[in-house]
Amino acid sequence: MIRFLFKGLMRDSQRSLLPVIIVAAGVMLTVFLQAWLTGVMQEGIEFNARFNTGHLKIMTAAYARDKDQIPNDLAITRAMELMDSLKRDYPGIGWAQRIRFGGLLDVSDTSGETRAQGPVFGLAIDLLSGNKDEISRMQLESSLKKGHLPRKAGEILISEEFAGKLKVHPGDQVTLIGSSMNGAMAMYNFRIAGTVVFGTSAMDRGTIITDIRDAQLAIDMDDAASEIVGYLAGGFYDDPKASEIRSHFNTAHSNPKDEFSPRMFTLREADEMASLIDYSERFSSILIAVFILAMSVVLWNAGLLGGLRRYGEFGLRLAMGESKGHIYGTQIYESVIIGIIGTIGGTIIGLGFSWLVQKYGFGAAGMMRNAAMMFPSTFHARITPLTFYIGFIPGLLSTVLGTLLSGIGIYKRRTSELFKELES
Protein backbone atom coordinates (compact mmCIF):
# COMPACT_ATOMS: atom_id res chain seq x y z
CA MET A 1 0.00 0.00 0.00
CA ILE A 2 2.74 2.48 0.98
CA ARG A 3 4.67 1.69 -2.21
CA PHE A 4 1.51 2.27 -4.25
CA LEU A 5 0.82 5.60 -2.54
CA PHE A 6 4.45 6.69 -2.97
CA LYS A 7 4.29 6.03 -6.71
CA GLY A 8 1.02 7.95 -6.92
CA LEU A 9 2.52 10.96 -5.17
CA MET A 10 5.60 10.94 -7.40
CA ARG A 11 3.48 10.76 -10.57
CA ASP A 12 1.04 13.48 -9.48
CA SER A 13 3.23 16.54 -8.92
CA GLN A 14 0.23 18.80 -8.35
CA ARG A 15 -0.71 16.78 -5.30
CA SER A 16 2.78 16.32 -3.81
CA LEU A 17 5.22 18.97 -5.07
CA LEU A 18 3.77 22.05 -3.37
CA PRO A 19 3.21 20.34 0.03
CA VAL A 20 6.75 18.94 -0.02
CA ILE A 21 8.19 22.38 -0.85
CA ILE A 22 6.19 24.01 1.95
CA VAL A 23 7.28 21.37 4.48
CA ALA A 24 10.92 21.56 3.36
CA ALA A 25 10.96 25.37 3.62
CA GLY A 26 9.47 25.33 7.12
CA VAL A 27 11.87 22.63 8.31
CA MET A 28 14.86 24.40 6.77
CA LEU A 29 14.03 27.62 8.65
CA THR A 30 13.50 25.69 11.89
CA VAL A 31 16.82 23.82 11.62
CA PHE A 32 18.80 26.93 10.70
CA LEU A 33 17.24 29.05 13.46
CA GLN A 34 18.01 26.41 16.09
CA ALA A 35 21.65 26.16 15.00
CA TRP A 36 21.98 29.94 14.70
CA LEU A 37 20.51 30.77 18.11
CA THR A 38 22.51 28.02 19.79
CA GLY A 39 25.70 29.34 18.20
CA VAL A 40 25.04 32.99 19.02
CA MET A 41 24.26 32.28 22.67
CA GLN A 42 27.22 29.94 23.04
CA GLU A 43 29.58 32.32 21.20
CA GLY A 44 29.37 35.01 23.86
CA ILE A 45 30.01 32.49 26.62
CA GLU A 46 32.97 30.87 24.85
CA PHE A 47 34.43 34.27 23.93
CA ASN A 48 34.54 35.20 27.60
CA ALA A 49 35.99 31.77 28.39
CA ARG A 50 38.82 32.14 25.86
CA PHE A 51 39.92 35.61 26.99
CA ASN A 52 38.89 35.73 30.63
CA THR A 53 37.29 32.97 32.65
CA GLY A 54 38.35 29.70 31.02
CA HIS A 55 36.09 26.71 31.53
CA LEU A 56 37.97 26.26 34.81
CA LYS A 57 40.10 28.83 36.61
CA ILE A 58 42.52 28.42 39.50
CA MET A 59 43.45 31.36 41.74
CA THR A 60 44.46 31.73 45.34
CA ALA A 61 41.52 32.34 47.64
CA ALA A 62 42.89 35.78 48.51
CA TYR A 63 43.36 36.76 44.84
CA ALA A 64 39.83 35.58 43.99
CA ARG A 65 38.27 37.91 46.57
CA ASP A 66 39.79 41.02 44.95
CA LYS A 67 40.43 39.76 41.41
CA ASP A 68 38.97 42.92 39.83
CA GLN A 69 41.89 44.85 41.35
CA ILE A 70 44.43 42.38 39.85
CA PRO A 71 46.29 41.87 43.17
CA ASN A 72 49.37 40.08 41.87
CA ASP A 73 50.93 40.18 45.34
CA LEU A 74 48.37 37.43 46.10
CA ALA A 75 49.10 35.41 42.96
CA ILE A 76 49.87 31.70 42.67
CA THR A 77 53.48 30.82 43.48
CA ARG A 78 55.32 27.66 42.40
CA ALA A 79 53.09 27.73 39.35
CA MET A 80 55.10 25.21 37.31
CA GLU A 81 54.78 22.59 40.04
CA LEU A 82 51.01 23.11 40.09
CA MET A 83 50.88 22.93 36.27
CA ASP A 84 52.70 19.59 36.29
CA SER A 85 50.23 18.28 38.85
CA LEU A 86 47.24 19.44 36.80
CA LYS A 87 48.53 17.88 33.57
CA ARG A 88 49.13 14.61 35.40
CA ASP A 89 45.79 14.47 37.25
CA TYR A 90 43.55 15.92 34.50
CA PRO A 91 45.16 14.99 31.17
CA GLY A 92 42.08 15.75 29.06
CA ILE A 93 42.07 19.43 30.02
CA GLY A 94 44.07 22.16 28.27
CA TRP A 95 45.86 24.12 31.04
CA ALA A 96 47.57 27.50 30.65
CA GLN A 97 49.21 30.02 32.97
CA ARG A 98 48.28 33.67 32.64
CA ILE A 99 49.33 36.92 34.23
CA ARG A 100 47.11 39.98 34.27
CA PHE A 101 48.60 43.35 35.04
CA GLY A 102 47.94 47.03 34.62
CA GLY A 103 49.93 50.23 34.38
CA LEU A 104 50.88 53.03 32.02
CA LEU A 105 52.34 52.59 28.58
CA ASP A 106 54.82 55.36 27.89
CA VAL A 107 55.99 56.38 24.40
CA SER A 108 59.14 58.52 24.17
CA ASP A 109 60.30 60.84 21.42
CA THR A 110 63.83 60.93 19.94
CA SER A 111 65.14 62.96 22.89
CA GLY A 112 63.77 60.51 25.45
CA GLU A 113 60.91 62.73 26.60
CA THR A 114 57.38 61.34 26.95
CA ARG A 115 55.48 61.89 23.71
CA ALA A 116 52.33 59.91 24.58
CA GLN A 117 51.06 57.91 27.48
CA GLY A 118 47.97 55.87 28.27
CA PRO A 119 46.58 53.41 30.82
CA VAL A 120 47.00 49.82 29.69
CA PHE A 121 45.66 46.40 30.58
CA GLY A 122 48.22 43.66 30.06
CA LEU A 123 47.67 39.96 29.47
CA ALA A 124 50.64 37.59 29.51
CA ILE A 125 50.23 34.18 27.88
CA ASP A 126 52.45 31.49 26.40
CA LEU A 127 53.64 32.91 23.06
CA LEU A 128 57.22 31.74 22.61
CA SER A 129 57.48 28.17 23.93
CA GLY A 130 56.39 26.62 20.63
CA ASN A 131 53.02 25.54 22.02
CA LYS A 132 50.42 27.43 19.98
CA ASP A 133 47.36 26.52 22.06
CA GLU A 134 46.97 30.01 23.52
CA ILE A 135 47.66 31.69 20.17
CA SER A 136 44.96 29.55 18.56
CA ARG A 137 42.58 29.94 21.49
CA MET A 138 42.71 33.72 21.28
CA GLN A 139 42.75 33.67 17.47
CA LEU A 140 45.72 36.02 17.41
CA GLU A 141 46.86 35.06 13.92
CA SER A 142 43.49 35.94 12.37
CA SER A 143 43.20 39.08 14.55
CA LEU A 144 46.60 40.41 13.48
CA LYS A 145 46.24 43.76 11.72
CA LYS A 146 49.84 44.92 11.24
CA GLY A 147 53.28 43.46 11.85
CA HIS A 148 53.73 39.92 13.14
CA LEU A 149 53.30 37.83 16.26
CA PRO A 150 56.09 38.07 18.88
CA ARG A 151 59.07 35.97 17.79
CA LYS A 152 61.52 36.74 20.58
CA ALA A 153 61.62 37.99 24.15
CA GLY A 154 60.67 41.61 24.72
CA GLU A 155 58.11 41.83 21.91
CA ILE A 156 54.42 42.59 22.48
CA LEU A 157 51.15 42.87 20.64
CA ILE A 158 49.07 46.00 21.07
CA SER A 159 45.46 46.63 20.13
CA GLU A 160 45.09 48.54 16.87
CA GLU A 161 42.82 51.18 18.40
CA PHE A 162 45.21 51.79 21.29
CA ALA A 163 48.18 51.99 18.89
CA GLY A 164 46.31 54.63 16.92
CA LYS A 165 45.73 56.72 20.04
CA LEU A 166 49.41 56.55 21.00
CA LYS A 167 50.52 56.95 17.37
CA VAL A 168 52.86 53.97 17.52
CA HIS A 169 53.62 51.32 14.92
CA PRO A 170 55.24 47.87 14.78
CA GLY A 171 58.94 48.24 15.55
CA ASP A 172 58.50 51.15 17.98
CA GLN A 173 59.73 50.85 21.55
CA VAL A 174 57.41 51.52 24.50
CA THR A 175 57.88 51.42 28.25
CA LEU A 176 55.55 49.74 30.71
CA ILE A 177 55.30 51.56 34.04
CA GLY A 178 53.59 49.53 36.73
CA SER A 179 54.10 47.77 40.03
CA SER A 180 55.90 44.53 40.75
CA MET A 181 54.51 41.54 42.62
CA ASN A 182 56.17 42.92 45.77
CA GLY A 183 54.60 46.37 45.42
CA ALA A 184 57.65 48.20 44.10
CA MET A 185 57.63 50.35 40.97
CA ALA A 186 58.48 48.42 37.83
CA MET A 187 59.60 49.77 34.47
CA TYR A 188 60.30 47.58 31.47
CA ASN A 189 60.93 48.28 27.80
CA PHE A 190 59.05 46.40 25.11
CA ARG A 191 59.12 46.52 21.33
CA ILE A 192 55.85 46.38 19.39
CA ALA A 193 55.76 43.32 17.13
CA GLY A 194 52.27 43.87 15.74
CA THR A 195 48.79 45.26 16.26
CA VAL A 196 45.61 43.21 16.67
CA VAL A 197 41.88 43.78 16.58
CA PHE A 198 40.09 41.78 19.28
CA GLY A 199 36.62 42.68 18.09
CA THR A 200 35.35 43.94 21.43
CA SER A 201 35.71 47.47 22.70
CA ALA A 202 36.46 46.22 26.23
CA MET A 203 39.85 44.99 24.98
CA ASP A 204 40.44 47.20 21.95
CA ARG A 205 40.53 50.37 24.06
CA GLY A 206 43.89 49.61 25.65
CA THR A 207 45.34 46.09 25.75
CA ILE A 208 48.78 44.62 25.24
CA ILE A 209 49.67 40.94 25.04
CA THR A 210 53.11 39.65 25.93
CA ASP A 211 54.81 36.34 26.55
CA ILE A 212 54.37 35.14 30.12
CA ARG A 213 58.12 34.92 30.76
CA ASP A 214 58.52 38.58 29.78
CA ALA A 215 55.77 39.56 32.22
CA GLN A 216 57.34 37.46 35.01
CA LEU A 217 60.60 39.31 34.44
CA ALA A 218 58.99 42.75 34.08
CA ILE A 219 56.94 42.68 37.28
CA ASP A 220 59.10 40.29 39.32
CA MET A 221 56.78 37.26 39.25
CA ASP A 222 59.29 34.45 38.79
CA ASP A 223 57.46 31.08 38.69
CA ALA A 224 54.20 32.84 39.60
CA ALA A 225 50.91 33.37 37.79
CA SER A 226 47.80 35.43 38.39
CA GLU A 227 45.70 32.43 37.38
CA ILE A 228 45.74 29.08 35.67
CA VAL A 229 42.89 28.46 33.25
CA GLY A 230 41.63 25.14 31.92
CA TYR A 231 39.64 24.27 28.80
CA LEU A 232 37.56 21.14 28.41
CA ALA A 233 38.08 18.82 25.47
CA GLY A 234 35.70 19.59 22.60
CA GLY A 235 35.98 23.34 23.03
CA PHE A 236 32.61 23.90 24.77
CA TYR A 237 31.71 24.34 28.40
CA ASP A 238 30.12 21.36 30.15
CA ASP A 239 28.90 22.42 33.60
CA PRO A 240 28.44 18.94 35.18
CA LYS A 241 31.91 17.83 34.09
CA ALA A 242 33.52 21.13 35.14
CA SER A 243 31.82 20.97 38.54
CA GLU A 244 33.08 17.43 39.08
CA ILE A 245 36.69 18.44 38.31
CA ARG A 246 36.42 21.52 40.55
CA SER A 247 35.15 19.48 43.50
CA HIS A 248 37.93 16.90 43.08
CA PHE A 249 40.67 19.56 42.84
CA ASN A 250 39.47 21.66 45.76
CA THR A 251 39.23 18.59 47.98
CA ALA A 252 42.80 17.62 47.13
CA HIS A 253 44.55 21.02 46.98
CA SER A 254 42.51 23.76 48.61
CA ASN A 255 42.86 24.56 52.32
CA PRO A 256 40.05 26.80 53.63
CA LYS A 257 42.34 28.05 56.41
CA ASP A 258 45.09 29.11 53.99
CA GLU A 259 44.16 32.10 51.84
CA PHE A 260 47.15 31.45 49.58
CA SER A 261 46.15 27.89 48.74
CA PRO A 262 44.91 27.37 45.17
CA ARG A 263 41.18 27.21 44.60
CA MET A 264 39.39 26.19 41.43
CA PHE A 265 36.28 27.88 40.03
CA THR A 266 34.07 26.90 37.11
CA LEU A 267 33.05 29.26 34.34
CA ARG A 268 29.57 29.37 35.84
CA GLU A 269 30.99 30.76 39.10
CA ALA A 270 33.10 33.45 37.45
CA ASP A 271 32.15 37.08 36.81
CA GLU A 272 28.37 36.59 37.00
CA MET A 273 28.52 34.09 34.14
CA ALA A 274 25.82 31.95 35.80
CA SER A 275 23.15 34.54 34.99
CA LEU A 276 24.43 34.85 31.40
CA ILE A 277 24.38 31.06 30.92
CA ASP A 278 20.89 30.71 32.38
CA TYR A 279 19.59 33.66 30.38
CA SER A 280 21.09 32.30 27.17
CA GLU A 281 19.55 28.86 27.66
CA ARG A 282 16.10 30.22 28.53
CA PHE A 283 16.07 32.87 25.83
CA SER A 284 17.14 30.51 23.04
CA SER A 285 14.71 27.82 24.22
CA ILE A 286 11.79 30.29 24.24
CA LEU A 287 12.64 31.67 20.80
CA ILE A 288 13.04 28.20 19.31
CA ALA A 289 9.78 27.02 20.89
CA VAL A 290 7.88 30.06 19.56
CA PHE A 291 9.30 29.58 16.07
CA ILE A 292 8.53 25.85 16.07
CA LEU A 293 4.98 26.64 17.16
CA ALA A 294 4.63 29.20 14.34
CA MET A 295 6.01 26.77 11.76
CA SER A 296 3.76 24.05 13.14
CA VAL A 297 0.69 26.23 12.68
CA VAL A 298 1.73 27.04 9.09
CA LEU A 299 2.34 23.39 8.19
CA TRP A 300 -0.78 22.28 10.06
CA ASN A 301 -2.82 24.69 7.94
CA ALA A 302 -1.08 23.43 4.80
CA GLY A 303 -2.09 19.86 5.64
CA LEU A 304 -5.60 20.95 6.52
CA LEU A 305 -6.12 22.88 3.28
CA GLY A 306 -4.61 20.08 1.25
CA GLY A 307 -7.18 17.67 2.65
CA LEU A 308 -10.15 20.04 2.20
CA ARG A 309 -9.35 20.62 -1.48
CA ARG A 310 -9.61 16.91 -2.21
CA TYR A 311 -13.23 16.34 -1.23
CA GLY A 312 -14.12 15.97 -4.92
CA GLU A 313 -11.57 13.18 -5.25
CA PHE A 314 -12.96 11.54 -2.12
CA GLY A 315 -16.48 11.66 -3.59
CA LEU A 316 -15.28 9.81 -6.70
CA ARG A 317 -13.54 7.17 -4.61
CA LEU A 318 -16.65 6.67 -2.50
CA ALA A 319 -18.72 6.29 -5.67
CA MET A 320 -16.37 3.52 -6.72
CA GLY A 321 -17.06 1.66 -3.49
CA GLU A 322 -14.05 2.65 -1.37
CA SER A 323 -14.83 2.93 2.33
CA LYS A 324 -14.44 6.13 4.34
CA GLY A 325 -11.96 4.45 6.68
CA HIS A 326 -9.75 3.40 3.80
CA ILE A 327 -9.78 6.90 2.28
CA TYR A 328 -8.93 8.40 5.67
CA GLY A 329 -6.10 5.93 6.18
CA THR A 330 -4.53 6.53 2.76
CA GLN A 331 -4.73 10.27 3.32
CA ILE A 332 -2.74 9.87 6.54
CA TYR A 333 -0.19 7.62 4.84
CA GLU A 334 0.28 10.20 2.12
CA SER A 335 0.83 12.98 4.64
CA VAL A 336 3.42 10.84 6.44
CA ILE A 337 5.29 10.29 3.16
CA ILE A 338 5.13 13.99 2.27
CA GLY A 339 6.21 14.94 5.80
CA ILE A 340 9.19 12.58 5.78
CA ILE A 341 10.38 13.65 2.32
CA GLY A 342 9.95 17.36 3.10
CA THR A 343 11.55 17.03 6.55
CA ILE A 344 14.60 15.16 5.28
CA GLY A 345 15.05 17.59 2.39
CA GLY A 346 14.55 20.66 4.60
CA THR A 347 16.90 19.28 7.27
CA ILE A 348 19.66 18.67 4.70
CA ILE A 349 19.29 22.19 3.29
CA GLY A 350 19.09 23.73 6.77
CA LEU A 351 22.20 21.82 7.88
CA GLY A 352 24.00 23.10 4.79
CA PHE A 353 23.25 26.73 5.58
CA SER A 354 24.07 26.12 9.26
CA TRP A 355 27.43 24.56 8.37
CA LEU A 356 28.34 27.56 6.22
CA VAL A 357 27.54 30.01 9.03
CA GLN A 358 29.26 27.74 11.54
CA LYS A 359 32.46 27.77 9.47
CA TYR A 360 32.56 31.34 8.16
CA GLY A 361 30.40 33.19 10.68
CA PHE A 362 28.38 36.36 10.37
CA GLY A 363 30.09 39.69 11.01
CA ALA A 364 28.53 41.91 13.68
CA ALA A 365 31.35 44.34 14.41
CA GLY A 366 29.07 47.36 14.07
CA MET A 367 26.65 46.10 16.69
CA MET A 368 29.45 45.24 19.17
CA ARG A 369 31.41 48.49 18.76
CA ASN A 370 30.19 50.11 21.98
CA ALA A 371 29.55 46.94 23.98
CA ALA A 372 30.82 47.07 27.55
CA MET A 373 30.80 43.28 27.91
CA MET A 374 33.10 40.96 26.00
CA PHE A 375 31.34 39.71 22.89
CA PRO A 376 32.82 38.57 19.59
CA SER A 377 32.56 40.61 16.42
CA THR A 378 31.67 37.50 14.40
CA PHE A 379 28.93 35.05 15.36
CA HIS A 380 28.78 31.44 14.22
CA ALA A 381 26.02 28.88 14.15
CA ARG A 382 26.51 25.66 16.09
CA ILE A 383 25.23 22.31 14.88
CA THR A 384 24.22 20.07 17.81
CA PRO A 385 22.52 16.64 17.92
CA LEU A 386 19.19 18.46 18.35
CA THR A 387 19.72 20.18 14.99
CA PHE A 388 19.45 16.86 13.15
CA TYR A 389 15.96 15.97 14.37
CA ILE A 390 14.27 19.18 15.55
CA GLY A 391 12.73 19.64 12.08
CA PHE A 392 10.57 16.54 12.51
CA ILE A 393 8.39 18.38 15.04
CA PRO A 394 6.90 20.88 12.58
CA GLY A 395 7.68 18.92 9.43
CA LEU A 396 6.15 15.55 10.19
CA LEU A 397 3.95 15.88 13.26
CA SER A 398 2.24 19.13 12.22
CA THR A 399 1.65 17.96 8.66
CA VAL A 400 0.10 14.70 9.84
CA LEU A 401 -1.97 16.52 12.46
CA GLY A 402 -3.40 18.86 9.83
CA THR A 403 -4.32 15.88 7.67
CA LEU A 404 -5.91 14.09 10.62
CA LEU A 405 -8.14 17.06 11.36
CA SER A 406 -9.10 17.69 7.74
CA GLY A 407 -9.89 14.00 7.24
CA ILE A 408 -12.44 14.03 10.04
CA GLY A 409 -14.69 15.97 7.67
CA ILE A 410 -15.02 12.83 5.55
CA TYR A 411 -16.92 11.12 8.35
CA LYS A 412 -19.05 14.18 9.11
CA ARG A 413 -20.35 14.53 5.56
CA ARG A 414 -22.85 12.25 3.97
CA THR A 415 -21.88 10.36 0.84
CA SER A 416 -24.46 12.28 -1.19
CA GLU A 417 -22.77 15.59 -0.23
CA LEU A 418 -19.44 14.29 -1.42
CA PHE A 419 -21.04 13.28 -4.76
CA LYS A 420 -22.33 16.86 -5.12
CA GLU A 421 -18.80 18.20 -4.57
CA LEU A 422 -17.62 15.90 -7.32
CA GLU A 423 -20.29 17.18 -9.69
CA SER A 424 -19.37 20.79 -8.98
Q: Tens of pLDDT along 270-286?
A: 766 656 666 666 766 77
Cα of first residue to Cα of last residue in the chain, in angstroms, is: 30
* Calpha distance 173→328 (Å, rounded): 82
Check pLDDT > 70 for residue 98: yes
In the structure, what pLDDT confidence band is assigned to residue 372 with cuts at 50, 70 and 90?
very low
Interval 116-134 mean pLDDT: 91
What's the pLDDT score for residue 373? 44
Interval 132-145 mean pLDDT: 87
Most confidently predicted of 79-88, 381-390, 409-418 = 79-88
> Which residue did the predictor score with more confidence, 209 or 302?
209
Check pLDDT > 70 for residue 1: no
Q: What is the pLDDT of residues 332-346, one digit of tens each?
A: 777 787 788 888 888
Check pLDDT > 80 for residue 137: yes
Beta bridge partners of 116: 107
In the structure, what pLDDT confidence band is assigned to residue 303 with cuts at 50, 70 and 90?
low
Distances (CA, A) of 232 to 75, 107, 146, 272, 349: 23, 40, 32, 20, 31
309-316's contacts with Cβ under 8 Å and 24+ in sequence apart are: 310/15, 311/409, 311/410, 311/413, 311/418, 311/421, 312/421, 312/422, 312/424, 314/410, 314/418, 315/415, 315/418, 315/419, 315/420, 315/421, 315/422, 316/422
In the structure, what pLDDT confidence band is assigned to residue 385 with cuts at 50, 70 and 90?
confident
> Which residue did the predictor score with more confidence, 309 or 286?
286
pTM for this structure? 0.70
Q: Please, are residues 31 and 346 in contact by the beta-carbon 8 Å criterion? A: yes
Check pLDDT > 70 for residue 361: yes
Three-class DSSP category at 11: helix
Interval 304-330 mean pLDDT: 63
Of 34, 81, 75, 38, nearest in space to 58 by CA: 75
In the structure, what pLDDT confidence band is assigned to residue 189 with cuts at 50, 70 and 90?
very high
* Calpha distance 71→93 (Å, rounded): 26
Check pLDDT > 90 for residue 293: no
Most confidently predicted of 19-28, 99-108, 364-373, 410-419 = 99-108
Q: Please, are residues 191 and 156 in contact by the beta-carbon 8 Å criterion? A: yes
Q: Please, are residues 160 and 174 in contact by the beta-carbon 8 Å criterion? A: no
Distances (CA, A) of 366 to 55, 200, 279, 357: 28, 10, 23, 18
What's the pLDDT score for residue 316? 61
Most confidently predicted of 72-76, 275-279, 296-300, 335-339 = 72-76
In the structure, what pLDDT confidence band is assigned to residue 368 with cuts at 50, 70 and 90?
very low
Sequence ranges of the domains in the chain: 2-48+275-423, 55-266
What's the pLDDT score for residue 20? 79
What's the pLDDT score for residue 5? 47
Other residues' Cβ atoms within 10 Å of the Cβ of residue 362: 13
Distances (CA, A) of 372 to 33, 138, 325, 369: 27, 19, 64, 9
Interval 315-322 mean pLDDT: 62
Q: Which residues contact 64 (CB under 8 A, 6 or more apart)?
A: 263, 265
What is the percentage of the chain residues whose pLDDT exceeds 90?
33
Check pLDDT > 80 for residue 266: yes
What's the pLDDT score for residue 302? 62
Distances (CA, A) of 243 to 127, 227, 250: 29, 18, 11
- Which stretch of 11-15, 63-67, 129-133 has the lowest confidence by average pLDDT? 11-15
CA dihedral 272, 277, 283, 288 (to 10 degrees): 170
> Which residue did the predictor score with more confidence, 133 or 282?
133
- Which stretch of 41-55, 95-109, 119-133 has the lowest confidence by average pLDDT? 41-55
Check pLDDT > 80 for residue 227: yes
Q: Is 100 left (phi over 0), alpha (psi -120 to 50) or beta?
A: beta
What's the pLDDT score for residue 36? 84
